[in-house]
Amino acid sequence: MTAWGPPDHHDLHEQPPRVLLVDDAPINLQLLASALGRGYELHVARDGAAALDCIRREPDLDLVLLDIHMPGLDGFEVLTWLREEFPERRLPVIFVTAAGDEQAQTDGFALGAVDYIVRPFSLPVVRARVQTHVALKRQTEHLERLAWLDGLTGAANRRSFDQRLAAEWRRALRNRTPLGLVLFDLDYFKAYNDRHGHPGGDDCLRRIAALGQQSIRRPGDLIARYGGEEFALLLPDTDLAGAHGLAERLRRRVETCFACSGGDCNVRGAPGPMTLSAGCASRVPGFNEDPMTLILEADRRLYAAKVAGRNRVVATDDALPAAGGVA
């Protein structure tokens, strides 16, 4: 899962809390580890830069225990970078430090810390505070999953997709990395729905969403129900070849899955079993562009796939068809 938006479908409550300990003094790291005891997955960083590297690598962190006074980036700077680089990521940070003056605590909370612990500290109190903030984070994520998921398919909903796209676009613009997008929908789905009824159509959409979820491998990738029988795959750090390859593998999986389900999957008026058509796009965002640029590019190519005969993936604008309707 990602640390924001709709995560994948495993139950976070079954996993041990993932906590990052950040301090330049080994004795302090040992004390914090002792305070938490067993039942935690601990990550350790000895300076601010290492802490940020860990946060980038570990999207499923539940909490950070962060010292303030460290060589290089101090704790305040680490938290500032975290909030700027990952504005959508609700990763709770607790300062654990000897700087117990009122101004330091006020500054820490102003930057977005959820708590502030002054050394020397009580081990049970540290443990209790960590447990409380981890529980709050996971409860919030559970409620957000309900709000950000499509009720029928379990994929992300349109609201979730739009917000995630905006966040990934900003990140790709800042880091000068490609952002990939695949838009796909089901061929002749109306005929399929008419033949099998709404329960059969609903089951088909759930199966397609499950196959799409299985096709994405990285925590940052996202599948969303874009509308009706149309879905979107959002693929950070993915060039056009990568987006095309993933879409083509998904197309083959859908074709194989429904073909193996027997003749009942055939659609009257269609040349064969249920298939999908897809349009792919990828770009490094420009400063004068917005995310709609990427959507329109993928949508044009999805339309081209439909016009060209369906059951195919289009990843370029070569020989785009003239405007016209597609059933």
Q: What is the pLDDT of residues 138-181, one digit of tens each?
A: 999 888 778 889 999 999 999 999 999 999 999 999 999 999 99
Looking at residue 113, what is its pLDDT? 95
Instruction: Give the distance, in angstroms, between the CA of residue 318 and the centroid of all CA atoms in the same chain.
Output: 31
pLDDT at 311 over 50: yes
Q: How many domains does the chain have?
A: 2
- Per-residue pLDDT band for 318 (boundaries 50, 70, 90) equals confident
Regarding whether 297 and 163 lie in a shared domain, the answer is yes
Q: Name residue 81's amino acid.
A: W
- Per-residue pLDDT band for 112 (boundaries 50, 70, 90) equals very high
Q: What are phi and psi of 116, to 5 degrees?
A: -150, 120
Scan for tokens 């389900």, then name that residue.
261
- Does the residue 38 lie in any domain? yes
Looking at residue 4, what is its pLDDT? 32
- Does the residue 182 lie in any domain? yes
DSSP assignment letter at 46:
S
Mean pLDDT of 300-314: 96
Distance CA 314, CA 307 (A): 11
Regarding whether 189 and 220 lie in a shared domain, the answer is yes
Looking at residue 5, what is its pLDDT? 37
Distance CA 42, CA 17 (A): 8
Looking at residue 326, what is its pLDDT? 53
* Tokens matching residue 122: 């009580």
Closest CA to 31 of 92, 104, 119: 119
Regarding whether 137 and 19 lie in a shared domain, the answer is yes
Looking at residue 272, what is its pLDDT? 57
- Does the residue 198 lie in any domain? yes
User: Count of residues for the chain?
Assistant: 327
- Does the residue 325 lie in any domain? no
Q: Name residue 267's amino acid.
A: V
Distance CA 86, CA 128 (A): 27
- Does the residue 320 lie in any domain? no
Q: DSSP characters for 149-214?
A: B-TTT-SB-HHHHHHHHHHHHHHHHHHT--EEEEEEEETTHHHHHHHHHHHHHHHHHHHHHHHHHH
Distance CA 144, CA 4 (A): 9
* Tokens matching residue 86: 């990952």
| Interval 39-98: pLDDT, tens | 999 999 999 999 999 999 998 899 999 999 999 999 999 999 999 988 878 899 999 989
| Interval 194-234: pLDDT, tens | 888 999 999 999 999 999 999 998 889 999 999 999 999 99
- Per-residue pLDDT band for 263 (boundaries 50, 70, 90) equals very low
Q: Are 74 and 68 in contact (CB under 8 A)?
A: yes
- Angle ∠(132,134,138) on CA atoms, nearest 5: 120
Distance CA 322, CA 60 (A): 46
Q: Name residue 133's amino acid.
A: H
pLDDT at 130 over 90: yes
Q: Which pTM was predicted?
A: 0.60
* Tokens matching residue 29: 């790291």
DSSP assignment letter at 59:
T
pLDDT at 8 over 50: no
pLDDT at 11 over 50: no
* 63: three-class secondary structure by DSSP: strand
Regarding whether 131 and 32 lie in a shared domain, the answer is yes
Distance CA 38, CA 80 (A): 30
Domain boundary among 148, 172, 187: 148
DSSP assignment letter at 69:
-
Q: Name residue 21's amino acid.
A: L
Domain that holds residue 114: 12-148
Looking at residue 217, what is its pLDDT? 85
Regarding whether 167 and 295 lie in a shared domain, the answer is yes
Distance CA 62, CA 15 (A): 11
CATH code of the domain containing 295: 3.30.70.270
Looking at residue 15, what is its pLDDT? 84
Mean pLDDT of 21-49: 94
H helix intervals, the chain: 26-36, 48-57, 75-85, 102-111, 123-148, 158-175, 189-215, 240-259, 292-307
* Tokens matching residue 194: 């008419």
Tally of helices (H runs) and strands (E runs) in the chain: 9, 10
- Does the residue 1 lie in any domain? no
Hey, which residues are catalytic here? Answer: 229
- Per-residue pLDDT band for 260 (boundaries 50, 70, 90) equals low
* 94: three-class secondary structure by DSSP: strand
